[in-house]
Amino acid sequence: MAHRVLVDAGPIAALLDRRDTHHEWAKQQVAHLRHPLVTCEAVVSEAFFLLAPVRAGTGTFAGLLRDQLVRVDPDFLFCDNLPEILDQMEQYKNVPMSFADACLVRMTEIERDSSVFTTDRDFLTYRRNRRERIPLISPF
């Protein structure tokens, strides 16, 4: 397993929403992953949006952030990586690639010993450094 796990919004939502298709899978994965799960601000925003309709979803997620079980990488600033992020979004505009996904791909380019914990099939298409598969923890 990779040194660092970068978490996408999908597994966060799946973990906190019992009705989510990937709920059981996400629980099993979290039981085996090292904490904290690392992410970026764009994913945090996306997760809060996805959890808004889930009873106690945003409050529980806020608790995970407060307790640093999910931690925003303080060294990753999108403004320092904006050209690369925008290039990726342009490259995958037919998918289309979200801003949060582009940030996670960029984070894997910077920290090579990382994998992305996701329920998003688009990560099967994305490549870091234009041609390298991204190590994934995913249900597919």
Reply yes or no on whether the pLDDT at 55 is more than 50: yes
pLDDT tens, position by position, 29-48: 999 987 789 999 999 999 99
Q: What is the tally of structural domains in the chain?
A: 1
Structural domain of residue 126, as residue ranges? Answer: 4-137
pLDDT score at 1: 45
CATH number for the domain harbouring residue 124 = 3.40.50.1010
pLDDT score at 34: 76
- Residue 95 is given by DSSP the state T
Per-residue pLDDT band for 2 (boundaries 50, 70, 90) equals very low
The pTM assigned to this predicted structure is 0.95
Question: Is 112 strand, coil or helix?
Answer: coil
3-class secondary structure per residue, 20-85 = CCCHHHHHHHHHHCCCCEEECHHHHHHHHHHHCCCCCHHHHHHHHHHCCCEEECCCCCHHHCHHHH
Mean pLDDT of 12-31: 97
